[in-house]
Amino acid sequence: MSTAEPCPDPAPATLDQRLARLEAIVVELEGGGVALETAIERYQEGVELLKDCRSVLAGYRKRVEELSQSAEESLRAYAFDPDAPDPEALSRAGSAAAARKARP
């Protein structure tokens, strides 16, 4: 029979709590002195926490991308926006700059 420590608190709720628990597991396993059965249980818990963290981070990434896209769409000039740059002027300026570069 192993001298396993009491079960840890229920599954951490936030990403920070999950990461803290994962770090604690790593420290415990790296420190040695853990019975094989307990080590395997901690390792399995760590793998599950890692999967959870990756899933949460993927959700955050998607959320940031959606927010960024929404922000970009809201910043586009509307028809007859007096502050919007004139597309024809920009085109002419770009052509003139290209012509200046082409000259020796």
Taking only the tens place, the pLDDT of each residue in 34-84 is: 999 999 999 999 999 999 999 999 999 999 999 988 888 777 766 777 777
DSSP state of 30: H
Asked whether residue 3 is domain-assigned, the answer is: no
pLDDT value of position 80? 73
3-state helix, strand, coil in the chain (%, to 5): 70, 0, 30
List Cα–Cα distances, 104 to 57, 99, 101, in angstroms.
52, 10, 8
CATH number at residue 61: 1.10.287
Residue 61 within any structural domain of the chain: yes
- Is residue 85 in some structural domain? no
- 71 within some domain: yes
Rg (CA), the chain: 28
The total of structural domains in the chain comes to 1
Q: Which domain holds residue 33?
A: 15-79
The answer to the question of residue 7 being in a domain is: no
Structure tokens given for 96: 């003139």
